[in-house]
Chain A
Amino acid sequence: SYELTQPPSVSVSPGQTASITCSGDKLGDRYVCWYQQKPGQSPVLIIYQDNKRASGIPERFSGSNSGNTATLTISGTQVMDESDYYCQAWDSSTVVFGGGTKLTVL
């Protein structure tokens, strides 16, 4: 089965750029989505089709996908961005999630 690998945690200072990676075999050949989840809340779609921002998502969030790695980039990271982030891709007609990355802003 297809697997997506994310770093368990990433730390960034406020105002700096955060990059969260998602790795999988030939991932660049598949579409990738990204979700943000805060404690006790449902996930929120932030990026779809590799690099399109979902409705209402700030411009500081961007995505890319090439080779074996997709990347979620948060420019000018704010304290409110501290969350868990999950990548997601398709394996044929099924869906696969990465294990999630906890972003700490401090």
Chain B
Amino acid sequence: QVQLQQSGPGLVRPSETLSLTCSVSGGSISSSYWSWIRQPAGKGLEWIGRIFASGTTSYNPSLKSRLMMSVDTSKNHFSLKLTSVTAADTAVYYCARVGAAAGNGMDVWGQGTTVTVSS
């Protein structure tokens, strides 16, 4: 069964770029959409964006200007870059698989990465 393993730094300096990677095992990255979601401490879930294996993306409008997602099919992983971070970007970041059919939810989630933006 598909599993997602997240990697990336837990501390990012203000104004720098947050970079996370999600490695897919047990299945091909080419057959699904892939999303990033974040959750500030004690708060709700916020969708960041999604990407398909072809590279087609859809981003949260509130983050779009600072956001870039990419897929590396040869490594079976996908990545998130968020530029010019501030303390407001401090959160637990999750990657997730999204079913391709309309209405399918995010059925496989990564373990979460706590990212703190601080100098």
Contacts and interface: CB of A to CB of B under 8 A. Distances in A.
Interface of A: 1, 31, 33, 35, 37, 42-45, 47-50, 54-55, 86, 88, 90, 93-100
A100 B105 contact: no
A43 to B, nearest CB: 6
Contact of A94 (B58, B99, B112): B58
Nearest to A54: B107
B106 interface: yes
Interface of B: 35, 37, 44-47, 50, 58-61, 94, 99, 102-107, 109-112
- Give the 5 A-B residue pairs with the shortest CB-CB distance, closest first: A31-B103, A33-B105, A49-B103, A95-B47, A42-B109
Nearest to B106: A45
A95 B62 CA distance: 12
Given A42-B112, A44-B109, A95-B35, A31 B47 contact: no
A86 B94 CA distance: 15
A31 B109 CA distance: 20
A100 B106 contact: no
Nearest to B95: A42
Contacts of A88: 45, 47, 105-106
A98 B105 contact: no
A86 B45 contact: yes
Nearest to A6: B44
